[in-house]
Structure formats: structure tokens, C-alpha cells
Structure 1
Amino acid sequence: MKISSIKTYVFLATGVAALAVLMGSVSWMGNEFEVRKKQRPNVLFILVDDLGWKDVGAFGSTFYETPAIDALAAKGMSFTNAYAACPVCSPTRASILTGKYPARMKTTDWFGAPQPSTVAKHWTRDRPLLPAAYEENMALQEFTLAEALKEKGYATFFAGKWHLGETEKFWPENQGFDINKGGYFSGSPRGNHYFSPYNNPRLPDGPVGENLTDRLANETIAFIKNNPSKPFLAYLSFYSVHTPLGAPEELIKKYEAKKAKLGLNDQWGVEGTQKVRLNQCLPVYGAMVESMDRAVGKVLKALKDQEIDQNTIIVFMSDNGGLSTAEGHPTSNLPLRAGKGWLYEGGIREPMIVYWPGVTKTAQKSDQLVISTDFYPTILDMCGLAQLPEQHMDGKSFVSALKGKPMATRPVFWHYPHYGNQGGSPGSALRDGDWKLIEWFEEDRQVELYNLRSDIGETRNLVAENPEKAKEMLGQLNTWRQHIGAGMPAKNPAHKTAN
């Protein structure tokens, strides 16, 4: 073979090899592109503490200003019949992460509430009943939503209020979260409350005067920016709008001026033995709500800036009803009755919004009945992951509702065998369709029956008019309690009228 021929052969061989490498590169880039296109969706779960059903503009507030949340509702689905699993915080928080009713796990009161053995030193010591004993930690044996997603390759992040265990072995980093910014045993901000220094073992202090709500948003944004390659669960659990009340001064002044301009005055009623707020006009609370909304807006903007907003599921929820009957009475839940700590609608119905890019249509509303146990199976479903019915046994996926289709009907239950700080009494409740039944556990075992379609404010007890319906639902409630082994209160021997 001539040298020229050899050169030509080498050139052609080299060219073919180069082309093969190039084609391989193109193929690899194409595959990478497809992988990115098919990457499982991210999940941003936003949980607000003590936010009432009507505390955002999208759900009817005309005093509090929530443009970021309203914008989320405008592009997603708002659920008008969404419920927390308990009228106080820790039980609902456990239900979200486990997919189980609090009564099944015995996590029925906020962690730190009195146990039967400590009631003698508590304000409830002379009440007719001793509260049921409850578990003060979310058990490590529970395979949490975070653990389920982490097992499938998700990066997991938690920021804010945890309140699901006294010692650090029960804190977020031991319950499936890779990163924990601010989650520990406390149910409310300590230190300088909503401003640094925080005195929080999982959140280093910022500059003096830094706002906690804003800081948690910034920590979430930092996680999003520093996690470019894996799908993620970012669980942003605000301490706000829980007491102690506090917000940036400029926002408080804004709402003081707004209250004066509108000529609003505090209006009061009575719920049981408690004073109850009847209108929304407390400036510091309005400032807290708007501060939280601004933080939400910052995080949503970060998703868009990182160009991942179209591959991120966003859930917005509260853990119990707005605080209306105690501790400063900061908000009103009207037309719902009562508030946090009560089994009436004001204590358990929540403002819930879900945005699922490419699935939920803009500004949709759903009246499907959903409850906080449902998030676990629903999020797995949205992420294309297998269900875990032995874990999230009390939750049902509401993906069909997100797609605009009807869900299978089912009853939902509540069990709160405790006296609430806000005036509520031990009881259980059941909602089945339009009907809701409440059974109070004090000596007369009073039963109340309401039709929520015609009486959302629970003003007309229909037991006398519908005794068969009440009997049927009471039977359902008793069967459910027995099935899950619900703990019950006992007679209090210290009660002055006890036999």
C-alpha cells in the first residue's frame, strides 16, 4: 500500500472515529436531555402554623393582604373542603408525614400538653374528665413521607417548626430529612421570638433584628439553588402565624393605618365560656400574615428564577384553624364557628392550595372532601411512585380531584380527647358528605348534628329533627374509634361533682 493511501486510510478512520465520538456525545446529550425532561417532579410543601380558613385573600379575607398566595391559587386548585386531622398542631403535623390519623398513633394533643398524671398542676384539674394519655413523639418506626421520597432519590429539606418530639433523636434529620433548618421540640419561636437572636439549636442566629419568617424563606431558597441535580422535597414549615404575635414594624404600622382608614373596631361574641373574635382587624396579625405571604412569594420566585417552576408541585396548607377564642384572639374564622382547639369547622377547616404544573387548571376550585392524612399517598402518586398502604393507611390519593374528576366518597374522622387551651372540650367528630356529627365526652355525652351545605356556621343542631341520621353516624364514629384503638378520657375524681 502506498504511503498516500495509508494517509488517506488513517484520515478516514480518524474521521469515522471522531464522528462516532461526536454521535455518541450527541446521543449522550440527548439522553441527558430526556432524563432531565423526565426527572420526577420536585415538591415544595408549605405549612403555615395556626392560619385560619379565611386568613388569605383567595379564601375571602378583605383585611389581610396575601398577593403571593392569591397568585398561587390563581394558577392552581383551591380546596374548599380541606381539613386538618386535629384542631391543634402536633397531631396534624404527624398525620401529614405518616398518612395516619392521630388517634391511631395516640398523638392526639400538642406535644407538651398535660398528661393525665400531670393534670393536678394544670388549669384543667377541676374539669369533669381527665384527658386521654398521648404519645409525645412521632415514633421513629413510622416510615415518613420524607423517608419514602429519600429512598427514591429525592433530596429532602426541612425549615421551620417541627414540634414532633422532645429530644433530638425525634427531630427532622432522624425522620427522613437530609437538612434541618430550625426544627426542634418547640412549638413556637423562642429567644427574641420572630427576630434574631432565636435561641434555636438548629438555626444559627442571624444579624440582630433579622426576621425569622424571612430567614426560613432564605434558607429554603439556598437549598433550592444548591440542589441542581436531584428532585427534592422542600418542606417549609413556618412558625408564623403562631403566638407570640410579632412582625416587622413597618407592616404593623401599615395595618394600623388600614384599620383606621376603614373605620374598623374589634367585634366580639361568645363561644361556650370563651370570648370569640368576630372580625379581622388586628394590625399585628395582619402584619404577620403579610410577612408570611412575602416569604412565600420569595420562594416561588426562586423556583421561577431557577427555571424549575414548571417541574415543581406546590402545596400550601395550615395545621389547624385560626386562633379566635384565646391567647389574644388574633383572627376571626367567620362564617366558620370557633377556631383552634375546637372540633367546630373553625378549628379544623383549612385554606389549602395545590399547584401541579401541566395538570391543575388555572383558578380551579374543588369541593372534594380531603384531609391532611391524604397528602402522603397523593404526593407519591403525583411523583409517579408506588403507594405504601401499610404506612399511609388512613390517607387517600386525591389525584383524581386535581385532574378535575370526582373522588370516591368516604367519611373523615377527628378525635380530640383533651381540653384545649382555647376552650374546646374532649370529643370526636365525623363528616360524611354534607353531614357532620360531633360527640362531646363530658358527663352528658352531648351529640350535635349539622348539615354543612346549608349551615356552614354550625348554628342549627339537627339531632332532634334527624334522630336516625344522628344514630347512624354515632354508630360509625364508635366503630371507627374501636377499630383504631382510640384513647378515651376518664372521669376526674377531683371534679367537685364527681360521684
Structure 2
Amino acid sequence: MSLKYVNVKFKVSRKQMGWGDLGVFGEPNKETPYLDQMAAEGMLFPDFYSANPLCSPSRAALLTGRLPIRNGFYTTNGHARNAYTPQNIVGGIPDEEILLPELLQKAGYKSKLVGKWHLGHQAKYLPLKHGFDEWFGAPNCHFGPYDNVHTPNIPVYRNEEMAGRYYQDFKIEKNGESNLTQLYTQEAVEFITRMHNKSKPFFLYWAVDATHEPLYASKPFLGTSNRGLYGDVVRELDSAVGKILASLRSLKIDNNTLVFFSSDNGGATYAKQHGGSNGPFLCGKETTFEGGMREPTIAWWPGHIKKGQVSHQVGSLMDLYTTFVDFAEVAMPTDRVIDGISLRASLLNNTNVQRPLFYYRGNQIMAVRKGSYKAHLWTWTNSIEEFKKGTNFCPGQDIAGVTTHNQTDHTSKPLLFHIGRDPGEKYPISPNTPEYKKEMPLLMKEIQNHMVLLVPATPQLNMCDEGVMNWAPAGCNKGQNKCYKGPPSKPYNCTWPH
């Protein structure tokens, strides 16, 4: 049968939702019944990764199918530094990048983003300029609350114009109470229903930010988890997934809708009780150890994906780009390198293909995985100065020579791990062993092949400017005046501590 008009819906839990946060992955409180049921009815991907250990570059990779070093979502202001898109960032997603919804438009799809964008907040970078037909959500993280005279609160957009601001109009109380996840769930269900009634194929990118600090959940979920406020947030996200899948069933389009659930980076271990669990994996968000980039991922498609399957395909969020384009029967761009692969065979037949996976931090390739082997060319967690001030990306996981607080170059003798038998990356394989001598040249060959085709894009995350912050977004003058006068433009080089 033709799959050209299959609906494609991808949901991302906000960053800081770790691999070990789901009951199906062993979280002992078993507080994610809907996601666990989704896995029982679909396919679990325990070997699935983000393309970066930080939110903005990961999202750029998801929507372009390309590593951040290729799409410009990195910085050269310091070696191997993580960078993202705070309010004062000047750059954003380049026009020359072809985003997933732009390709799906060619097959008649309508696309909506619900939640956080994080690919640039100046008007030229916003979602409706890059293929999305609708948007309800925010361009940046909801850090705050802020004094909106000196630092404007983040706007929440309804399509091309702001509908209000976080904390002022879209409340997040000091106790963590907010109905934002409920609003985002309603937006998703309404869009699905409306597209079904219009017989339109759709792409929904549901990118809730509730698991990012400061945490929030609606009143019915506050105080209901054994894991504290973070658990309350996860329980509400789980419930929201249940409602969205139920809407597909009630409309009888569940067997025509491919759904992915994942996260944009690993759990934020530095946030302690306010961060996620990365299960058996080393460290967390911001690092290129397994805890920073391996994601809890589930695919669901009744009638097409057989129930209760586990795929050990090494996957990436970039693969969703290629997979959705494949099922929509749209031609893939041929004028650029696409790093994602189609997961069609994995989803329909549970077959695996060998492929290398590259771990980047800023402008530096840090590690490579192929099969069960992973080689680290560089290691570091965060600076010793930050560590001494209390910021720890690897709490309770100090491994000599591995979790280094200085950028350590191992390229002359990379660290090798078998992450099947050592998922925590605790026991480097000795360079003197036959195993090392056999596997390391194969991994180094993958890196050499990768570098031959690598043409780094112009870095988008180098320049900052308080003058470009969310002072006066489109629509700020409607109703209660939410426009503010900002400082004059004064660009400067961003400082990235991680």
C-alpha cells in the first residue's frame, strides 16, 4: 500500500527527561503507565541518541537531519563548548537549511509546533518562516521569573504574534504550579482533530518544556509522585501522551499515524532531584558520555509496528527526518549531506543496519560509536572551577581518566569501551589487548571517512547582543501593552562555560 499520506507525529519530552525516567526502562516507581503502554503496543529503542548533549543543537539536528556542525548550531568561541539559543543570541536556523516541515509541505502536509522552538527568536528565524503552518509556544527556555524591565519574560506565540509572556500571562508559580502542559495537550488534540476533519495529513511536533527547570505541573499532579516535583512533571507528561494517543484512537486514525516519543538530550544530573535519571549510563546533559545523549525512545503505529518489540538499531533523532520523508514519499535533498538514515525497515521488519554514530561537543568530534564499541577522542565533564562551585555533570560517577575536568586529548590513543557489557563506560579496554587492536582501527576509519565529507557551516552561536532580546515581539502592542524598550544593539562574543 502507499504510505504517502500517513500522518506523522513526533513528540519530544523537554530536555532533562532521561533514559531511566520511564517504567519500561526500569524506573522503580512505575509512574509512566501511558508511555509504558505505548512501548508495549509499539517498539522500544534502547539504543537511540540525540545529535548533541544540549537542547538547541539537538533540535536543529532533528529538524534538518544534519549534525549541528553542518547546520551551524555550534560555536567556535572556545574549543568543544556547548552553546544554545538564550534570549541574547544573535543567530538562528539558517535559511539555506531545509527543515522537515518544508519537505512535508510538498506532499500536502500541514505542520504544527506546540511548545519550545529554540532555533532563534528574531523574526526571520521563527517557525512559520521555516515550514510550520501553525505554532503555539515559546522561542526560548522559560528561565525566570524575571524583572521584565531589565530582562523581558519569554513570549508565548500564537502563530506569528505573541499571545502573552511566561510568568505574566502564562503563569508558573513559585511552588511549580502551572497549567501550561494542559494547554499544550489541548493544542495537540485540537490540531489532530481539525486536520482529521479536513482530511489533511499532518505533522505535529509536540515539544513541551515542563521537565526543564524551573519545573512546573498543573495542580492535579502536584504532590502526586514519589519522586517529588520532577516526578509530578513526568507524570503529567505521561498523562498527556495518553490523551494524545487516545484522541488518535477515538478518531480512528491510529493505524494511519506514526508516533515517536523521545527527548532532546539526557537527564540533567547536575539538577539533582530536579533532573532526570539516565539509568545505568555515565553522566548526563552537557556531556558526550552515554548519559548525555542516549534517549528514551518509543515508536508507535498500530497495524504496522508489531506489538512489544525491542529494536537494537542504533538510532538518532536525525533519523526521524529521513524516516518521515521516506514514508511521505518526498524526494530527499541531494545537494547536502544528510546524517539521518531511514528507519522504515527497523519499524516494519525489526531489521538493523550498521552505522557509525558521532558525538560532538561544539566544534569538536568527541567520540564515535559503531556496533557495541565506542571510542572517546576527547573527554571532559565541566571545568574544575565550575565543579568547585557545585556544578557537577557526573555526580557520584568519578572515573579516573574518563570524567576529566580539563579537556583531555586522547586522539593518539583513544579510550575504547564495549558499551554492551559496560554501558556505564567504567572500564576502558586496554590498548594492549587484541580486542583494542582489532576494533580501534575500524572506528578510526569511520572518523576519517566522516571528516573527508565534513564542511562546517558558519557558526550561528558565536554572537550575543542584549539589543536583540524579546523586548518587543510581534503582537506585543495588542491588549495590555507588553512591549518594552531595550538597549541599543551592541554585539559581542558569547561566553560558553560548558
TM-score, scaled to structure 1: 0.73
Q: 1:325 is matched by which residue type in structure 2?
A: Y
| Residues 1:362 and 2:316 are matched in the alignment | no
Q: How far apart, in 1, do the equivalents of 2:4 and 2:360 lie?
A: 40
Q: Relative to 1, partners in 2 of residues 1:401 and 1:132: Cα closer, same or farther, differing over 3 Å?
A: closer
Aligned residue in 1 for 2:370: 432
* Equivalent in 416, 424, 427 of residue 449 of structure 1: 416
Q: 1:181 is matched by which residue type in structure 2?
A: F
Q: 1:56 is matched by which residue type in structure 2?
A: L
Pairwise mapping of residues 418-497 of structure 1 onto structure 2 (< 5 A)?
428-440=366-378, 444-446=408-410, 447-464=414-431, 465=433, 466-467=436-437, 469-486=439-456
Aligned residue in 1 for 2:253: 308
CA deviations 1:62-92 (Å, max 9, x no partner) are: 2251111112111111111111111111111
Q: Relative to 1, partners in 2 of residues 1:73 and 1:443: Cα closer, same or farther, differing over 3 Å?
A: closer
SS at match of 2:19: coil
| Residues 1:177 and 2:129 are matched in the alignment | no
Aligned residue in 2 for 1:45: 10
Aligned residue in 2 for 1:88: 54
* Equivalent in 168, 184, 192 of residue 224 of structure 1: 192
- Post-superposition shift, 1:248? 3.3
* Equivalent in 224, 243, 247 of residue 298 of structure 1: 243
Q: 2:439 is matched by which residue type in structure 1?
A: K
Q: How far apart, in 1, do the equivalents of 2:362 and 2:112 lie?
A: 33
* RMSD of equivalent CA atoms: 2.9
Pairwise mapping of residues 276-425 of structure 1 onto structure 2 (< 5 A)?
282-326=227-271, 330-390=275-335, 393-417=338-362
Q: How far apart, in 2, do the equivalents of 1:320 and 1:303 lie?
A: 27
Q: Relative to 1, partners in 2 of residues 1:253 and 1:210: Cα closer, same or farther, differing over 3 Å?
A: closer
- Post-superposition shift, 1:60? 1.7
CA deviations 1:416-460 (Å, max 9, x no partner) are: 137xxxxxxx65110011100111166651332100111111110
Q: How far apart, in 2, do the equivalents of 1:415 and 1:236 lie?
A: 25
Aligned residue in 1 for 2:179: 211
CA deviations 1:175-216 (Å, max 9, x no partner) are: 1000010142x1336559xxxxx8524053578665111111
Aligned residue in 1 for 2:489: none
CA deviations 1:220-264 (Å, max 9, x no partner) are: 111122222211111111112111123235534222xx3xxxxxx
Q: Is the CA contact 2:178–2:219 (under 8 Å) kept in the aligned structure 1?
A: no
Q: How far apart, in 2, do the equivalents of 1:328 and 1:72 lie?
A: 26
- Post-superposition shift, 1:343? 0.8
Q: 1:179 is matched by which residue type in structure 2?
A: E
Q: How far apart, in 1, do the equivalents of 2:418 and 2:125 lie?
A: 41
- Post-superposition shift, 1:329? 5.4
* Equivalent in 96, 118, 121 of residue 163 of structure 1: 118
Q: Is the CA contact 2:181–2:217 (under 8 Å) kept in the aligned structure 1?
A: no
Q: 1:221 is matched by which residue type in structure 2?
A: V
Q: Relative to 1, partners in 2 of residues 1:207 and 1:454: Cα closer, same or farther, differing over 3 Å?
A: closer
Q: How far apart, in 1, do the equivalents of 2:244 and 2:82 lie?
A: 40
Q: How far apart, in 2, do the equivalents of 1:132 and 1:301 lie?
A: 38
SS at match of 2:157: coil
Q: How far apart, in 2, do the equivalents of 1:389 and 1:183 lie?
A: 32
Q: How far apart, in 2, do the equivalents of 1:130 and 1:397 lie?
A: 29
| Residues 1:187 and 2:187 are matched in the alignment | no
Aligned residues: 400
CA deviations 1:382-406 (Å, max 9, x no partner) are: 2333333445621110111112242
- Post-superposition shift, 1:96? 1.1
Q: Is the CA contact 2:138–2:154 (under 8 Å) kept in the aligned structure 1?
A: no
- Post-superposition shift, 1:334? 2.6
Q: Relative to 1, partners in 2 of residues 1:107 and 1:63: Cα closer, same or farther, differing over 3 Å?
A: same
Aligned residue in 2 for 1:106: 72
Higher-Rg member (1/2): 1
* Equivalent in 169, 190, 209 of residue 239 of structure 1: 209
Pairwise mapping of residues 116-155 of structure 1 onto structure 2 (< 5 A)?
116=77, 131=81, 136-155=91-110
Gaps of 5+ in 1: 1-33, 110-114, 120-128, 193-197, 259-281, 419-425, 489-499
Q: Is the CA contact 1:161–1:237 (under 8 Å) kept in the aligned structure 2?
A: yes
Q: Relative to 1, partners in 2 of residues 1:223 and 1:81: Cα closer, same or farther, differing over 3 Å?
A: same
Q: How far apart, in 2, do the equivalents of 1:59 and 1:310 lie?
A: 25
Q: Relative to 1, partners in 2 of residues 1:471 and 1:286: Cα closer, same or farther, differing over 3 Å?
A: same
Q: Is the CA contact 2:42–2:305 (under 8 Å) kept in the aligned structure 1?
A: yes
Q: Is the CA contact 1:189–1:239 (under 8 Å) kept in the aligned structure 2?
A: no
Q: How far apart, in 2, do the equivalents of 1:329 and 1:219 lie?
A: 26
Q: Is the CA contact 2:69–2:362 (under 8 Å) kept in the aligned structure 1?
A: no
- Post-superposition shift, 1:472? 4.4
SS at match of 1:384: coil
| Residues 1:72 and 2:38 are matched in the alignment | yes
Aligned residue in 2 for 1:11: none
Q: Relative to 1, partners in 2 of residues 1:352 and 1:320: Cα closer, same or farther, differing over 3 Å?
A: same
Q: How far apart, in 2, do the equivalents of 1:308 and 1:207 lie?
A: 32
Q: Is the CA contact 1:373–1:392 (under 8 Å) kept in the aligned structure 2?
A: no
Question: Percent identity, aligned pairs only?
Answer: 32
Q: How far apart, in 2, do the equivalents of 1:236 and 1:444 lie?
A: 38
Q: Is the CA contact 2:258–2:300 (under 8 Å) kept in the aligned structure 1?
A: yes
Q: 2:14 is matched by which residue type in structure 1?
A: D
Aligned residue in 1 for 2:484: none
SS at match of 1:93: helix
Q: Is the CA contact 1:158–1:183 (under 8 Å) kept in the aligned structure 2?
A: no
SS at match of 1:358: coil
Gaps of 5+ in 2: 85-89, 147-152, 172-176, 380-405, 460-498
